Structure 1
Amino acid sequence: MMLRRGQMGDVSALARIHRAAFDHPWSESDFSTYLASDFVWVSGEPIAGFLLIRAVGDEAEILTLAVDPAHRRAGHAVALLDAAKQDLAKTDVSRLFLEVAADNLPALALYERQGFLPIGMRKGYYRRDAGPNMDAKLFSCALPAAH
């Protein structure tokens, strides 16, 4: 599986995949901003999935992870998480955080298999077009110390 860092030319693909994966997708402009300042890894050629992380000091947060529905369950999310954790472990980042909708069972299972531990909950965090807002589960994962 081909993995690489995201580039400005990926903006349209990232926005398209995010639209297919989330109720409230980010725009191409949003992705341009993220690509200029944050860590982005992409998987596949053409791009099948991506992972966006913001690092500040010794902590980093997964802002979003999305895989095109046509390419799910093919290992893209695992490969992206593994690559990001390996790259971040070479920096001063010692802990990786994320939040995920409490009803997103595939994502919850993925993160737990990847060593993330639950650390909290945000009530009604995710706005839903139909039905009540959904809670966000918060997770954290320790990264190996930088060498």
Structure 2
Amino acid sequence: MNLRTATADDLGAIMALERASFPTDAWSETLMAAELSSPHGRYVVDVEAGRLAGYGGVRAVQGAADADIQTIAIAEHARGTGRGRALLHALLAAARERGAREVFLEVRADNPVAESLYVSEGFTEIARRPRYYQPDDVDAVVMRLDLVGWAVAQRPADSVASEAGACS
């Protein structure tokens, strides 16, 4: 697993995976190019042996209290190997670095694997958007994560204990 910041040179590979992962509602190349170049986003790719295994993006405006996971996609050959979780962690860390305190996302209601990943990381369902994903008429599950609590939970126990001792 090799995570790095996505660049404009990754656009072709990202779009190929985007179309394979989301055949009925893939983003346009123009929209994805704008996302990759936006100062308000951070896109990360996972490259293995010169081949794109996954990508993800977060919109996190510097100093804003909230951020949004825009997308995560994993190539079929790389699914079930922890790559989605690694990408999610990288995106959450980027949002935290920019000052976000909570993170939101939408996930297709017909994607229980992704929803399970988000729940395992502490996301909770806060709403549903009926028939959000078109043309498939699939609901979006809107989820929220307390990023501050998540960040604390990610620290090793000895780090948290030493910080607590420094505050006494």
1:29 — aligned with what?
30
Q: What is the alpha-carbon root mean square deviation over aligned residues?
A: 1.6
For structure 1, which runs of at least 5 residues remain unmatched after alignment? none
Residue by residue, what CA displacement relative to the aligned partner does 1:111-133 show, whole Å, maximum 9, x if unpaired?
1111111111111111135xxx1
Partner Cα separation in structure 2 for residue 127 and residue 32 of structure 1? 22
Comparing both structures, which one devotes a greater share of its residues to helix? 2
* Runs of 4+ deviating beyond 6 Å: none
- Give the match's secondary structure for 1:26: coil
Conserved? CA contact 2:60–2:98, under 8 Å: no
Matched, 1:59 2:66: yes
After TM superposition, list the pairs within 5 Å mapping 1:72-83 onto structure 2.
72-83=79-90
- Give the match's secondary structure for 1:78: helix
Matched, 1:87 2:94: yes
Percent of aligned pairs with the same amino acid:
36
Aligned pair partner of 1:124 in 123, 131, 137: 131
After TM superposition, list the pairs within 5 Å mapping 1:33-48 onto structure 2.
33-37=34-38, 38-45=41-48, 46-48=51-53
Identify the range of structure 1 (80-89 vs 10-19) with the bigger mean alpha-carbon deviation. 80-89
TM-score computed with the length of structure 2 as normaliser: 0.79
Conserved? CA contact 2:105–2:142, under 8 Å: yes
Kindly name which structure, 1 or 2, has the bigger radius of gyration based on alpha carbons. 2
2:54 — aligned with what?
49
Larger RCO of the pair (alpha carbons < 8 Å, separation 6+): 1
Shift of residue 27, structure 1, vs aligned partner? 2.6
For structure 2, which runs of at least 5 residues remain unmatched after alignment? 152-168
